[in-house]
Amino acid sequence: MLIRPWWRKPTISSDPIVIIGGGAGGLELATKLGKYFLKTKQKIILIDQNRKHVWKPLLHEVASGSLDADIDCVDYLSHGARNGFLFQLGVVDGLNRESKHVLLKQLNDQDGALIFPARQVKYSLLVFALGSVTNDFNTLGAKQYCTFLDTCENAERFHTELLNAFLRLKGDDTRSSLNIAIIGGGATGVELAAEIVKTSELLRNYGYDHLSKKSLDIHIVEAGPRILAALPERIAQSAQQELEALGITVNTNTAVTEVTPNSVITKDGREIASSITVWAAGIKGPDFMQAIGGLESAKNNQLLVNPFLQTPLDTDIFALGDCASCTTLKGIKVPPRAQAAHQMASTVFTNIIAKLALKPLVAYEYIDYGSLVSLSSYTAVGSLMGNINQRSMFIEGKLARLVYIGLYRMHQVTLFGVLKTLLIVLVGRVNRALRPNLKLH
Q: Which residue has the higher pLDDT, 211 or 217?
A: 217
**Among 256, 257, 261, 227, CA closest to 244:** 227
**Among 334, 277, 298, 340, CA closest to 136:** 277
pLDDT score, position 385: 59
Which of 33-42, 273-282, 374-383, 386-395 comes out lowest in average pLDDT? 386-395
Give the whole-angstrom CA distance, residue 236 versus residue 403. 18
Q: What is the average per-residue pLDDT within 118-127?
A: 97
237 CB burial (10 A radius; 0-12, 13-18, 19+): middle
**Predicted confidence (pLDDT) at residue 206 exceeds the cutoff of 90:** no
**Predicted confidence (pLDDT) at residue 103 exceeds the cutoff of 50:** yes
User: Is residue 27 within 8 Å of residue 415, measured between CB atoms?
Assistant: yes
Give the whole-angstrom CA distance, residue 346 versus residue 321. 11
**Predicted confidence (pLDDT) at residue 428 exceeds the cutoff of 90:** no
Mean pLDDT of the chain: 90
The DSSP annotation for 15-52 comes to SPEEEE--SHHHHHHHHHHHHHTTTSS--EEEEESSSE
Q: What is the average per-residue pLDDT within 337-350?
A: 95
**Predicted confidence (pLDDT) at residue 3 exceeds the cutoff of 80:** no
pLDDT score, position 175: 60
Q: Which residues of 323-339 are buried (b: 16+ CB within 10 A; e: fewer)?
A: bbbbeeeeeeebebbbb
**Among 256, 302, 299, 300, CA closest to 278:** 256
Which of 48-52, 322-326, 436-440 comes out lowest in average pLDDT? 436-440
Strands 303-304 and 114-116, sheet pairing = unpaired
256-260 sheet: strands from edge to edge: 256-260, 263-266, 271-273
pLDDT score, position 8: 58
Q: What percentage of residues in the chain have a pLDDT greater than 90?
A: 72
Contacts of 361 (CB under 8 A, 6+ apart): 308, 310, 350, 351, 354, 355
Give the whole-angstrom CA distance, residue 390 versus residue 373. 20
User: Is residue 358 within 8 Å of residue 378, measured between CB atoms?
Assistant: no
Sign of the CA dihedral 44, 50, 54, 57?
A: negative
Sign of the CA dihedral 105, 110, 116, 122?
A: negative
| Beta-bridge mates of residue 221 | 183, 251
**Terminus-to-terminus CA distance in the chain, angstroms?**
41
**Predicted confidence (pLDDT) at residue 387 exceeds the cutoff of 50:** no
Q: 18: how many CB neighbours lie within 10 A of its CB?
A: 25
Given this chain, do its domains 17-132+285-356 and 135-282 carry the same CATH topology? yes
| DSSP, res 124 | S
Give the whole-angstrom CA distance, residue 244 versus residue 226. 14
Strands 379-388 and 370-375, sheet pairing = antiparallel
Contacts of 106 (CB under 8 A, 6+ apart): 114, 116, 117, 118
Q: What is the average per-residue pLDDT within 312-332?
A: 96
pLDDT score, position 399: 79
Question: Taking the CA of residue 281 as centre, how many other CA atoms within 13 Å lie in the half-sphere pointing to its CB?
Answer: 25
Give the whole-angstrom CA distance, residue 322 versus residue 369. 17
| pLDDT single digits (tens) 253-266 | 999 999 999 999 99
Q: Which residues of 184-217 are buried (b: 16+ CB within 10 A; e: fewer)?
A: bbbbbbbbbbbbbbbbbbbbeeeebeebeeebbb
User: Is residue 373 within 8 Å of residue 380, measured between CB atoms?
Assistant: yes
The yes/no answer on whether domain 17-132+285-356 falls in CATH 3.50.50.60 is yes
Which residue type does 195 have?
E
322 CB burial (10 A radius; 0-12, 13-18, 19+): buried
Give the whole-angstrom CA distance, residue 97 versus residue 142. 35
| DSSP, res 292 | G
- As a dihedral over the C-alpha atoms of residue 182, residue 185, residue 187, residue 191, rounded to 10 degrees, the angle is 40
Is this prediction's pTM over 0.95?
no
Structure confidence at residue 1 as a pLDDT band (50, 70, 90)? very low
Give the number of residues written for the chain: 441
Q: Note the CATH number of domain 135-282.
A: 3.50.50.60
Give the whole-angstrom CA distance, residue 279 versus residue 148. 5
pLDDT score, position 171: 63
Domain positions in the chain are: 17-132+285-356, 135-282, 368-429
Q: What is the average per-residue pLDDT within 148-175?
A: 86
